[in-house]
A and B are shown apart, each in its own frame.
Chain A
Amino acid sequence: MFDHAYSYKFVGKEKGEDGSYVAHLFRFKTRQNRTIIFRAEVFDNPHPIVVVKFFDKAHRLSEKRFSLLTNTGGFGSIVATCINIMFKDLVGSNPYLSFAFMGAPKPKELAQKRLHNTQRFRLYALLMKRKFTPLHYQHAIMETYSCYLILNRDYCEDKPAAVEEMLEALKKTYPNEAKW
């Protein structure tokens, strides 16, 4: 299910509203002819960390774009492509990157205002545990808000304050989206 990945294209870069990050945009087309936008928001200051997001291009103008479902199947290949991008393009360009993401609630969960341990979070967490080796990354979760952190061992090991500073930077940039 998660073995097949689509080929993707680098679309460009975009500066964040407050200038704290640079978003790297990628695009790929699914078998069901849906265009998926993958957005990697790369923070360099104070520490290198990437917040990864993806959504259907058709939902790009919606506020709930991360929650909406395409209902066309092929979810495994979409996630596999995103992991490919994370490894090949992002880690390839900077091996000291750490990653952060949130398992957005599905529309039903959103209606119930449920952020705790969402279905997406559970699925992503399982995949990340299988793909990011503990030799190079340390994983941390916050189930209350379905947040996931993949810390780069090589970078963070000798910087005890790095995690807190990374989370501080995320809190500052996304005060409403996720409770880092």
Chain B
Amino acid sequence: MSDSVIRAQSLTRSIGGRTVLRDFTVDVPAGQVIGLVGKNGAGKSTLFDLLLGFALPTSGQSSVFGVDSKALTAAAKARIGFVPQSDELVGLLTGTQQLGLIASLHPGWDPSLIDRLSREWEVPLDRRINTLSGGERQKLSTLCALGHKPDLLVLDEPAASLDPVARRRFMQEILAIAGDFTRTLLYASHIVGDLERVASHIWVLRQGSLVWQGELDQLKESIVRVHVRADHDLDRNLRLPNQLQGRVQGRTADFTVSDWTDAQLAPLRADLNAQVEVEPLELEEIFLALHA
């Protein structure tokens, strides 16, 4: 039990009669970099709120570092860094002052790390926070979460407001942080291309339910696009097992299927009497297929 960084068992949350998160169960060992994807309102932020103790579950339970999320201890909290979707910075302070105040709460604060990152990310620390752009605020918010070198870093859309250059630098740093295989990262983003670069594991949330959890490579091997080319017209109602999407047009057809294994290829060729090719998908295409 103590080896799990995050553990959730049948975690469910309802708000006003609507179930925002349903029967969520995971067990995360240390060192994983988890990308959390889902449409708006899929329950990503609610999940973070529940795991980190901001919100209370309707049923089920969760723990972080073996401590119940509802009553996280100071020791457990000291190992967590959290970047919320809407930053919670104090607008009247400068970046330096904000970081100074947050540093005061963490005995293990690493000023050299923050100095380096603030320079690399070009965060104007001498300006008042309420004069910073959205991207600058997000970078500052991330610095606040990184300074005490947390063992678990939870990022809720941290790069949404960053320009491509800043986002690339940001992701490089996230990669570096994740690189030592001891920290655990939980990263929610709409920019699934970013997740593809950093994540070792993927969670896919759809309407509050966890529809996929596992290794990224496993996901990419499992969900593929199947191209069919035949010498004859294909049946318009043709469907493949575990089909997520499909389109039949005359002698060709394209299908996106889940739970694919290479063993399915030969029988399919024989059944359809056609040329069948399998194409791996980008994470973004998988995401779209899962939400089709």
Co-complex (A, B): no
Q: Which residues does A use to contact B, with CB under 8 Å?
A: none
